[in-house]
Every structure is written in C-alpha cells, then in structure tokens.
Amino acid sequence: MIGQNAGAGDPARAAACLRLAVTWLAVLGAVLIALATFPGPVLRIFTGDDQVIARATETIRALRWAMPAGMISGALLRAYTAVSPNKLGNAISIGCAVLTIVIANTWPGAPLASVAAAMIASQYLRLGLLAALYRRLFRAAIQRRAAPRRADGVLPSGPRPVLRNRALANRALTSMTRSASF
Amino acid sequence: MSDGRLDVRLWRDILHVGLFFQIVRDMDFIAQVALVRVIMISGKVAVAGYGLAMFLLTMAVSAIGCSAARRAS
C-alpha cells in the first residue's frame, strides 16, 4: 500500500499508511506483552509436557519485550524498501543481525538470558536507528516521487512512477515465466 | 525480452532493489540458528521450550501483522 501510494504520487497517504501501521503495531505489541504474561493455557494446546511448558513460559516471558520493537522495525524497514532501494536501512538490519549473534555468544550468564539480551538489544537498536532515519529514507523518498505532481499541480502527461513500476513488474513476470519455460 | 532471452539489465534492476532485503532475511535466519545453538547448551527440553515459544510468538506476531494490514487497508 505504501509503495502504491508513493508510486501514485500521493505522499500524504503513504505516510498515513505507515503511521497507522506503526500505531497499530505498538498497541497490539503492548497487548501481546500483557497476554504473554500467562501463556500456559495456550501452550497446553500444543503439548502436555510440563517441563517443556515451563521452559516455553520462561522463554516467552523473557523474549516478549523484544517483540514490539521487532514488529515496528520490520514495518519501518519494509516501508523504506517500498519507496527506495534502501541500502542503508537494510545494512543496519544486517548489522543488527550480526550484533544478535555476537551478544548471544558473549553475554555472561544463562543461555536464555544471553538470547534475551541479544534479541532485545538488537531489536531496539534497529528500531532506534531506523526511526532516526525516517526523514532521510522515507519522507524524502516519497516527496521526491511526488515532485512532478507538486510542481504544476497536475499529473505529468508522461508515464507516472506507478505505471513505470507496473511495466517493470510485467517485464519481470514475463522474463521469469520465459526463463522457467526453458 | 520478447525473444525469451534473459534480460540482464532488468534483472540488475530487480537485484538492485531486492538483493539487500533478501540478505537481511537470510541474516535473520542465520541469527535465529545461532540463538538456537546457544539454547542447545541447556539441553533438549530447553530447545523444545524455545521452539514452542518462538512458534507461538511468531504466530502471534504474524496474526497481529495481518490484523494491522487489514485495518490499514
């Protein structure tokens, strides 16, 4: 939706889509944290082993704090990628994945504590960096795409970005189909 | 393109947009494998518990994502 609206030269609607997605993910993430406090009944649907349920409960309680950051940063990364190639945002995500591995293997303490520390640190770092780059990676990109429309108040007579993207998609689909047939 | 040959320029454009994002997805997968290896130190029950917990959390996150997307549309 964000890519479609940005391609159609409607930056306000693209930004509104992202705002709505982030708001909903924040609210639902908070609900998830609350529900994850007592996951026992749901876990019993999948197994009756008390030891496994105890371990799973412990794991969910430790990792639930990373989930909202993971969801929101994932939404931001996909939104940025929808409007530009977004090498910087993706490089940040790759760096945070490497950081996850490093922290998990070097953090002192129990294995679950190491995993929780790695996930929470890397997810919130990714969220912070991506949020800090909102203006550069998203706002500027959708404004650039809308520039021809804003210059004279009407759409340009030539192909609009959305049409170019659709043509590109059609060409890719044709290419893949033909490649697969050989 | 129409003669059925691979369009190198087109695929270069596609890779320019999608390659980095695909590397991100692969790195997330590798990171999860590394986390499971750390959990393995605690034994089989811990791995089973971790797997069940991650399944539940990712399922919930997916459901939340779908809900948010439908709401946004």
pLDDT classification of B52: cutoffs 50, 70, 90:
very high
Task: Check whether residue B30 and residue B5 sit in a common domain.
Answer: yes
pLDDT value at A153 more than 70: no
Mean pLDDT of chain A: 79
Do B47 and B26 reside in the same domain of the chain?
no
Q: Provide mean pLDDT across the span A16-24.
A: 86
Instruction: Say how many domains are in chain B.
Output: 2
Question: A28 to chain B: which residues are within 8 Å by CB?
Answer: 64, 67-68
- Whether B29 and B56 share a structural domain: no
Question: Are residues B54 and B33 located together in one domain of the fold?
Answer: no
A100 lies within 8 A of chain B by CB:
yes
Tell how far CA B51 is from the center of its chain: 16
User: In this predicted model, which residue has the larger pLDDT, B63 or B35?
Assistant: B35
Which pLDDT score is estimated for A52?
Answer: 92
Q: How many CB pairs under 8 A join A and B?
A: 157
Given pLDDT bands bounded at 50, 70 and 90, which one contains residue B69?
low
Instruction: Enter the pTM of the model.
Output: 0.74
Q: Do A100 and B31 count as a contact with CB atoms less than 8 A apart?
A: yes
Pick the closest to residue A117 from A129, A107, A128 (CA basis): A107
**A115 to chain B: which residues are within 8 Å by CB?**
35, 38-39, 50
**Residues B29 and B49 occupy one common structural domain:** no
Tell whether the model's pLDDT for residue B34 goes beyond 90: yes
Written as one string, the DSSP assignment of A81-101 is HHHS--HHHHHHHHHHHHHHH
**Residue in B1, B27, B56 closest to A174 by CB:** B1
Q: Are B54 and B32 within one domain? A: no
* Residues B34 and B56 occupy one common structural domain: no
Query: Are residue B6 and residue B23 in the same domain, yes or no?
Result: yes
Nearest CA in chain B to A32: B60
Q: Which domain holds residue B55?
A: 43-73
Rounded to 5°, angle at Cα A11 from A9 and A12: 130
Residue A167 has pLDDT above 60, yes or no: no
On whether both B53 and B72 belong to a single domain, the answer is yes
DSSP 8-state code for residue A38: S
**Same-domain pairing of B28 and B56:** no
Contact A54 B71 (CB under 8 A): no
More confident of the two residues A157 and A118:
A118
pLDDT tops 70 at residue A169: no
> How large is the ipTM?
0.77
* pLDDT value of residue B51: 93
Query: What integer pLDDT is reported at residue A182 of this predicted model?
Result: 35
For residues B18-45, give the mean pLDDT. 91
Confirm or reject contact between A54 and chain B (CB < 8 A): yes
B window 43-72, beta carbon within 8 A of A: 45-46, 48-50, 52-57, 60-61, 64-65, 67-69, 71-72
* Chain segment A29-61, per-residue pLDDT in tens: 888 888 888 888 888 988 889 999 999 999 999
Contacts of A118 in chain B (CB under 8 A): 35
